[in-house]
């Protein structure tokens, strides 16, 4: 990135209404911020822009915390762009983290982005050791030529929408609640890798085994899913778990059976959106009993997905 920044998606000649943050999950709280950015950009005839970081700052500053993000960097950019804003991804390093708050504001909101307005969440802090706050931003805006808008937390059913709450709900198998807070269905991307071939042979139900790119899989269980393949959405049923009927694998796997499809998916990259959680994974006393339960799951998924559209 050059000193005066040529960023993909950013027109350097235009002034911006800009927000900054991690935006993991691009959930309803984030969407409230994005809406205000879009509205103000239109009113002020500026470019709506999101400044975000890759990797997530906590992964650089506190790797021991093993933060499990909801979105991959690519998903995040795609979700932000489809909300209608331009996206500037700043590589986050320890050196970047050491930039004093004032310098960050002058350099980014002032020089590079020519901010006309900066939109931030109510608890936003920035700069080295998080010393920068909204007061500092407002003060510096007066000399650098931008105003500051503060967005309050979004509540749904009197809980504050947050990425950490959504992570917890996904882990607990509360998919419906997680999806409501996200404002979309939780989705995982990944490549189809070789499985054991057991599904087709023993159960008559071939599955695509997906190597997830996301840090976070929903709780173990059986799910109705929509699979995106080359921009097309296909109905399916997914299993997340260890297949305890067989050999109790140690690792959790994600397998998808596409309803009414029997092509080869090996090597393809798919996105799996989790629409509904159907049941828990169980150990069945016989392969026949598992096979008939899977047939019932396929019917349940068809029902759920038929209603969802």
Could you give the string, one character per residue 182-221, with x where binding to Mg ion holds by CB under 5 A and - elsewhere?
-------------x---x-------x-x------------
Closest to ligand RBF by CB, 20 vs 258, is 258
Task: Please list the residues that pair with 240 across neighbouring strands.
Answer: 221, 254
Closest to Mg ion by CB, 110 vs 199, is 199
Is residue 232 annotated as part of the catalytic site, yes or no? Answer: no
Q: Which of 111, 139, 255, 281 is catalytic?
A: 255
- Which CA distances in Å does 248 have to 252, 282, 283, 292? 10, 11, 9, 20
Task: Please list the residues that pair with 202 across neighbouring strands.
Answer: none
Closest to ligand RBF by CB, 148 vs 256, is 256
Q: How far is the CB of 162 from ligand RBF (least distance, A)?
A: 31
222 binds, among ligand RBF, Mg ion, none (CB under 5 to 8 A by kind): ligand RBF
H-state helical runs in 28-174? 28-44, 57-61, 73-82, 94-97, 101-104, 134-144, 163-171
Q: In what order do the strands lie in the sheet with 147-151?
A: 86-91, 47-54, 16-20, 115-121, 147-151
Closest to ligand RBF by CB, 239 vs 271, is 239
> What backbone phi and psi angles, to 5 degrees, belong to 9?
85, -5
Could you give the string, one character per residue 78-97, with x where binding to ligand RBF holds by CB under 6 A and - elsewhere?
--------------------
Cα–Cα distance for residue pair 79/164, rounded to 1 Å: 18
71 binds, among Mg ion, ligand RBF, none (CB under 5 to 8 A by kind): none
Cα–Cα distance for residue pair 219/240, rounded to 1 Å: 7
Closest to Mg ion by CB, 77 vs 256, is 256
Task: Please list the residues that pair with 87 across neighbouring strands.
Answer: 50
CA dihedral 119, 76, 170, 294 (to 10 degrees): 150
Could you give the string, one character per residue 193-232, with x where binding to ligand RBF holds by CB under 6 A and - elsewhere?
--xx-xx---x-x-x--------------x----------
Q: Which residues of 140-175 are buried (b: 16+ CB within 10 A; e: fewer)?
A: bbeebebbbeebeebeeeeeebbbebbbebbeebbb
Q: How far is the CB of 197 from ligand RBF (least distance, A)?
A: 8
Q: Binder to ligand RBF among 237, 240, 275, 304 (CB under 6 A)?
A: 237
* Catalytic residue positions, numbered: 255
| Residues of the shown chain interacting with Mg ion in the complex, contacts defined by CB under 5 A | 195, 199, 207, 209
| Residues of the shown chain interacting with ligand RBF in the complex, contacts defined by CB under 6 A | 195-196, 198-199, 203, 205, 207, 222, 237, 239, 243-246, 255, 257, 281-284, 290, 294, 297
């Amino acid at each position: 990135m050059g000193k005066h920044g040529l960023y993909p998606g950013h027109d350097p000649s235009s002034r911006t209404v800009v927000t900054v943050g991690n935006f993991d999950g691009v959930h309803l709280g984030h969407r409230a911020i994005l809406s205000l950015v879009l509205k103000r950009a239109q009113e002020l005839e500026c470019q709506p822009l999101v400044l975000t970081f890759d990797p997530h700052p906590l992964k650089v500053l506190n790797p021991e915390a093993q933060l499990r993000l909801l979105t991959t960097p690519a998903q995040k950019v795609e979700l932000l762009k489809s909300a209608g804003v331009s996206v500037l991804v700043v590589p986050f390093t320890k050196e970047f983290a050491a930039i004093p708050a004032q310098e960050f504001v002058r350099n980014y909101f002032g020089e590079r982005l020519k901010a006309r307005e900066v939109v931030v969440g109510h608890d936003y802090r920035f700069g080295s050791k998080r010393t920068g706050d909204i007061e500092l931003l407002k003060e510096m805006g007066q000399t650098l030529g931008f105003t500051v808008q503060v967005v309050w937390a979004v509540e749904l059913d009197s809980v504050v929408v947050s990425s950490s709450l959504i992570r917890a709900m996904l882990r607990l198998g509360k998919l419906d609640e997680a999806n409501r807070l996200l404002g979309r269905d939780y989705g995982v991307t990944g490549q189809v890798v070789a499985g054991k071939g057991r599904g087709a042979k023993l159960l008559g139900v071939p599955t695509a085994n997906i190597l997830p790119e996301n840090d976070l899989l929903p709780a173990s269980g059986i799910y109705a899913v929509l699979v995106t393949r080359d921009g097309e959405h296909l109905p399916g049923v997914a299993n997340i778990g260890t297949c305890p009927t067989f050999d109790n694998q140690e690792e959790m796997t994600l397998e998808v059976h596409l309803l009414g499809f029997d092509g080869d998916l090996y090597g393809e990259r798919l996105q799996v959106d989790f629409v509904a959680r159907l049941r828990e994974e169980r150990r069945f006393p016989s392969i026949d009993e598992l096979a008939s339960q899977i047939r019932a799951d396929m019917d349940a998924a068809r029902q759920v997905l038929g209603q969802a559209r």
